A and B are shown apart, each in its own frame.
Chain A
Amino acid sequence: MGSQDHAEKGNLKTMKLSGAEIFVECLKREKVDTIFGYPGGVLLNIYDVLHQQRDIRHILTKHEQGAVHAADGYARASGKPGVVLVTSGPGATNTVTGIATAFMDSIPLVIFTGQVPMSMIGNDAFQEADIVGITRPCTKHNYLVSHVSKLASTIKEAFHIATHGRPGPVLIDLPKDVTVNQTDFKYPARVELKGFKPNYEGNLQQIKRALQAIKKAERPLLFTGGGVILSNAANELRKLARKTNIPVTSSLMGLGAFPGDHPLFLGMLGMHGTYAANMSIQNTDLIIAVGARFDDRVTGRIESFAPKAGIVHFDIDPTSIKKNIRVDIPVVGDCANVLKQMNRLLAAERGIPWKKKHADWLAQIDAWRKAYPMTYPERKGKIAPQYVVEQIHKLTKGEAIITTEVGQNQMWAAQFFRFKHPRQFLSSGGLGTMGYGFPAAIGAQFACPDKVVFDIAGDGSIQMNIQELATAVQHRLPVNVAILDNRFLGMVRQWQQLFYECRYSSTCLHSGPDFVRLAEAYGAVGLRITEKEDVPDAIREAIATKNTVLLDFIIDREANVMPMVPAGASIDEMMLDDGKGKKSLPKKQADKITG
């Protein structure tokens, strides 16, 4: 290809390149090293150019949904945007669940979809789908590139939008003729968008007000969300909490922002939150919410959430503030910047006895902790799923990257793995997408080749993207899948047990498959574990094995996720143990512990 020869001589400014070549050049400029995708007719030109270069590796997944989740896992683990390339029509529509998953959790992705040629759009051409229309409500922004001359600037904008402000997925639809036609290539140095100017710096007056509120508070509580991780604010958060001695609770998405084994950490709050976290929310006089959006899984019945608290809310997205809950002191800005400013102000404050200031409050929290610690029942001859998670934690020294599927497996992972670092826990929090965890683990392993990666999976969810075993094996990825195999759609079964009198309608998965033989069929290692004493060795073997390993833990079938706040209840109305009936804590008893 003539134009490519010139390109290699580095004289790109004046040379004509095809759209396909421009695509690849732009990705290089964005320092993209890995993309996940699946080819098809309208992408032949792009794939041909990809084949003739070495800077960008293309990972062929086995399903386009897998490609998007893998790019998402790559993005969450690395902090860089994930990139996806899929063909038109069915290739494009197969990405929708992955895009919606990333959108709900604010993950920066750039998704390229092939499209039929411009002249055929609207004619119901072969493999035509209006993917821009379909994904409008589940992307941060999207584009149809109508002419090759607009391609480079559109790609530049897309990366900018995906990674600035509150991150999110951006989709670019590429008609085939745009990939074929040629134009002068020039990559814009910067992006100027009139309608997109996120506010990074928090208003200093507001931050000062927040500081006053913290100084005044007797029972303050930090509540961290995914925004802390997205903005790389964990260090500033840790500084703030340690300096002020304020206890920390977290949403699912915020896990890892604060060390899971720190004495100030209360664990997750909400529907499956710890007793101490939920009681603290109900009794605190000041919540400092950082990068959280007060999802209904966190708040329970909104009218009775945090009845005694003033609320300080730091978030980069103004729409998150006062969407679900009243806010007394809003600060719109990047969490890391706002926390940094707060820490600077704090450093200048002298004479506040932070260590003693909330001693009573911390003692109260300890009483809650001791009254109902995170324990679980173990039945003779059965493997408790929580034990498996604890062992993975222990044997990876708490350092593994953990992805999850959705359901009980996800909650057990969140409750019993004490995350040390941000970007260590990758889970579909907002959309709750079964089938997320395994491809996300693959993406994370590509981003962090030296880390141990485990997908903590359910036997239902894993089957939604199990075909990616072929991808993992092909690349000799040492990813591990730990199926907490209850032969049930366990979380749904749990609700049926508790609220539908054990009528297990369509939740029983007794028919298999044999996961061990399935793993072997793909060329992975499969191990079945049926005895508790074999759990640690199996995990050790998985960690030591260079190949992809699938561990099929046959767990106590009807183990439940506890504590649990029934949907629509107040978050202090917790069921606390794994009984067969509803054993909620009587209100009076709760009051007594509250003191």
Chain B
Amino acid sequence: MRHTISVLVENKFGVLARVAGLFSGRGFNIETLNVAPTLDPAFSQMTIVTSGDDRILEQITKQLNKLINVIKVTDYAGDITYLNRELVLIKVTAKSEHRAEALRITDIFRAKVVDSGPTHYTIEVTGNPAKISGVIEMLRPLGIKSIVRTGPVAMARER
């Protein structure tokens, strides 16, 4: 099963290597990983998307907690409701008759054109995983030249 995990870490030299090394060394899987400082620059927030059965997920959270530089681990599972957003840049081929279609799709998904040229648009989309894959599927027939994704970031909803 796929899981999204938030990891609050000390913003110190080598911490990313410790976390990445833990996953590779123990054969855990990282699908995406996003990391940036929190409001307090002494800490960083990581969002990791991983997969595995319950036993593996339990090991992943325990092993992360065991790292000295890890402050807090949240596995967004069970009844924790959370926001899950990813930002994606998509460079799509947009020639003559396809230009209008590209713009229409952009509009439908409330995405933005952030760069354009005679034969392409670059579209910025933010959203949850379902929305992101929706946009990609719609644009695919037009010809996607390249795509860059941040990987999701997650935050628990305030109750």
Chain B residues with CB under 8 Å of A146's CB are 13
Chain B residues with CB under 8 Å of A194's CB are 10, 71
B67 at the interface (CB under 8 A from A): yes
Interface hits, B60-80 → A, CB 8 Å = 62-63, 65-71
Chain B residues with CB under 8 Å of A317's CB are 66
Interface string of B75-92 (1 = CB under 8 A from A): 000000000000000000
- Interface pick from A26-34, A129-137, A376-384, A463-471: A129-137
Contacting residue for A322 out of B55, B68, B69, CB 8 A: B55
A352 at the interface (CB under 8 A from B): no
- Assuming the A-B contacts A137-B25, A193-B68, A196-B68, are A319 and B17 also in contact, with contact meaning beta carbons closer than 8 angstroms in the complex? no
Contacting residue for A318 out of B9, B62, B67, B70, CB 8 A: B62
B18 at the interface (CB under 8 A from A): yes
Chain B residues with CB under 8 Å of A133's CB are 14, 17
A195 at the interface (CB under 8 A from B): yes
- Assuming the A-B contacts A133-B17, A137-B21, are A319 and B68 also in contact, with contact meaning beta carbons closer than 8 angstroms in the complex? no
Chain A residues with CB under 8 Å of B58's CB are 322
B133 at the interface (CB under 8 A from A): no
Chain B residues with CB under 8 Å of A132's CB are 14
Contact indicator B17/A141 (Cβ below 8 Å)? no
Separation of A317 and B66 alpha carbons in the complex (Å): 8
Chain A residues with CB under 8 Å of B18's CB are 136
- Assuming the A-B contacts A141-B68, A161-B68, are A319 and B63 also in contact, with contact meaning beta carbons closer than 8 angstroms in the complex? yes
Contact indicator B71/A195 (Cβ below 8 Å)? yes
Separation of A146 and B13 alpha carbons in the complex (Å): 10
Separation of A133 and B69 alpha carbons in the complex (Å): 15
Interface string of A371-407 (1 = CB under 8 A from B): 0000000000000000000000000000000000000
Chain A residues with CB under 8 Å of B65's CB are 318
Separation of A440 and B25 alpha carbons in the complex (Å): 28
The chain B residue with its CB closest to the CB of A320 is: B62
Interface residues on A, range: 10 to 19
Contact indicator A323/B70 (Cβ below 8 Å)? no
Contact indicator A319/B25 (Cβ below 8 Å)? no
Q: How far is the CB of B68 from chain A (nearest CB, A)?
A: 5
The chain B residue with its CB closest to the CB of A132 is: B14
Interface string of A52-68 (1 = CB under 8 A from B): 00000000000000000
- Give the secondary structure class of B's interface: helix
Chain A residues with CB under 8 Å of B70's CB are 195
Contact indicator B67/A195 (Cβ below 8 Å)? yes
Interface hits, A290-336 → B, CB 8 Å = 317-319, 322-323
Contact indicator B14/A136 (Cβ below 8 Å)? yes
B59 at the interface (CB under 8 A from A): yes
Interface string of A105-144 (1 = CB under 8 A from B): 0000000000000000000000000001100110011001
Contacting residue for B59 out of A141, A193, A195, A319, CB 8 A: A319
Separation of A466 and B120 alpha carbons in the complex (Å): 71
Residue picked from B18, B68, B71, most chain A C-beta under 10 Å:
B68
Separation of A371 and B14 alpha carbons in the complex (Å): 57
Chain B residues with CB under 8 Å of A195's CB are 9-10, 67-71
Interface string of B8-24 (1 = CB under 8 A from A): 01100110011001000
Separation of A161 and B67 alpha carbons in the complex (Å): 11
Contact indicator B62/A319 (Cβ below 8 Å)? yes
Q: How far is the CB of A296 from chain B (nearest CB, A)?
A: 15
Separation of A195 and B73 alpha carbons in the complex (Å): 10
The chain A residue with its CB closest to the CB of B42 is: A194
- Assuming the A-B contacts A132-B14, A136-B14, A194-B71, are A319 and B21 also in contact, with contact meaning beta carbons closer than 8 angstroms in the complex? no
Chain A residues with CB under 8 Å of B63's CB are 319
Q: How far is the CB of A191 from chain B (nearest CB, A)?
A: 11
Contact indicator B59/A323 (Cβ below 8 Å)? yes
Chain B residues with CB under 8 Å of A196's CB are 68
Separation of A141 and B18 alpha carbons in the complex (Å): 9
The chain A residue with its CB closest to the CB of B65 is: A318
The chain A residue with its CB closest to the CB of B66 is: A319
Chain B residues with CB under 8 Å of A319's CB are 59, 62-63, 66
Chain A residues with CB under 8 Å of B67's CB are 195
Chain A residues with CB under 8 Å of B69's CB are 195
The chain B residue with its CB closest to the CB of A144 is: B13
Separation of A132 and B13 alpha carbons in the complex (Å): 11
Chain B residues with CB under 8 Å of A137's CB are 21, 25
Chain A residues with CB under 8 Å of B59's CB are 319, 322-323
CB-defined A-B contacts under 8 Å, sample of 28:
A133-B14, A133-B17, A136-B14, A136-B21, A137-B21, A137-B25, A140-B68, A141-B68, A144-B14, A146-B13, A161-B68, A193-B68, A194-B10, A194-B71, A195-B9, A195-B67, A195-B68, A195-B69, A195-B70, A195-B71, A196-B68, A317-B66, A318-B62, A318-B65, A319-B62, A319-B63, A319-B66, A322-B55
Since A319-B66, A322-B59 are in contact, a sample of 13 more A-B pairs with Cβ atoms closer than 8 Å, ordered by chain A residue number, is: A133-B14, A136-B14, A137-B25, A140-B68, A195-B9, A195-B10, A195-B67, A195-B69, A195-B70, A318-B66, A319-B59, A319-B63, A322-B55
Q: A residues within 8 Å of B by Cβ?
A: 132-133, 136-137, 140-141, 144, 146, 161, 193-196, 317-319, 322-323
Q: B residues within 8 Å of A by Cβ?
A: 9-10, 13-14, 17-18, 21, 25, 55, 58-59, 62-63, 65-71
- By Cβ-Cβ distance, the 5 closest A-B pairs, closest first, are A319-B62, A141-B68, A318-B62, A195-B71, A137-B25
